[in-house]
């Protein structure tokens, strides 16, 4: 499957005119893959909150969805963006919880992807003073932090 994913990503990025190279590696659970993109156009992937990186990830997962296990996924990264973003989201979650405790007012994050919302939920899951809930629909879904 690694070779098929690599060929698909290479074809897609070449057709779009991007100067990018991809490396595909097994990652996490069996059947999961990580695609690391590098090259002169990596800045384009990370601009506007990594919108393009997320879009390429989405299209690739849709293309290979029927060939993969039900819960398997293909995760794309560029310049270690995913790890840095996860650390940023964890810090944001902790600060939001502090704010909710101090002001006793709910705090709602901007719209996030499902994986980013999950990081907020998991980060605050053990905090008995606050709880989290997802609100909204589709691409406008957000996380709200409230007092428990």
pLDDT of residue 94: 98
Residues 112 and 125 in one domain: yes
Q: Whole domain around residue 122: which residue ranges? A: 83-147
pLDDT of residue 64: 92
The residue among 28, 56, 79 that closes a domain is: 79
pLDDT of residue 70: 73
Residues 57 and 69 in one domain: yes
Cα 11 → chain centroid: 23
Which contiguous run of DSSP H or E holds residue 145? strand 142-147
Domain with residue 46: its CATH number is 3.30.300.20
The stretch 101-110 carries a mean pLDDT of 97
Residues 27 and 65 in one domain: yes
State pLDDT tens for residues 37-90. Answer: 999 999 999 998 899 999 999 999 999 988 887 778 899 999 999 999 999 999
The residue among 60, 79, 98 that closes a domain is: 79
Q: What is the pTM of this model?
A: 0.80
Phi-psi region of 79 (alpha: psi -120 to 50; beta: other; left: phi over 0): left
The residue among 44, 61, 79 that closes a domain is: 79
Q: Per the structure, how many domains does the chain have?
A: 2
């Amino acid at each position: 499957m690694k070779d098929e994913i690599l060929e698909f990503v290479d074809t897609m990025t070449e057709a779009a005119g991007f100067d990018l190279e991809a490396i595909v590696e097994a990652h996490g659970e069996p059947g999961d893959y990580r695609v690391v993109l590098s090259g002169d156009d990596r800045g384009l992937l990370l601009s506007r909150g990594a919108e393009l990186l997320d879009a390429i990830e989405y299209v690739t997962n849709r293309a290979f969805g029927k060939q993969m296990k039900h819960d398997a996924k293909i995760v794309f990264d560029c310049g270690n963006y995913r790890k840095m973003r996860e650390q940023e989201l964890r810090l944001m979650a902790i600060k939001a919880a502090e704010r909710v405790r101090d002001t006793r007012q709910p705090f709602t994050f901007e719209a996030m992807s499902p994986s980013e919302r999950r990081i907020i939920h998991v980060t605050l899951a053990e905090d008995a003073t606050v709880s989290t809930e997802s609100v909204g629909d589709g691409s406008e879904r957000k996380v709200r932090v409230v007092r428990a």
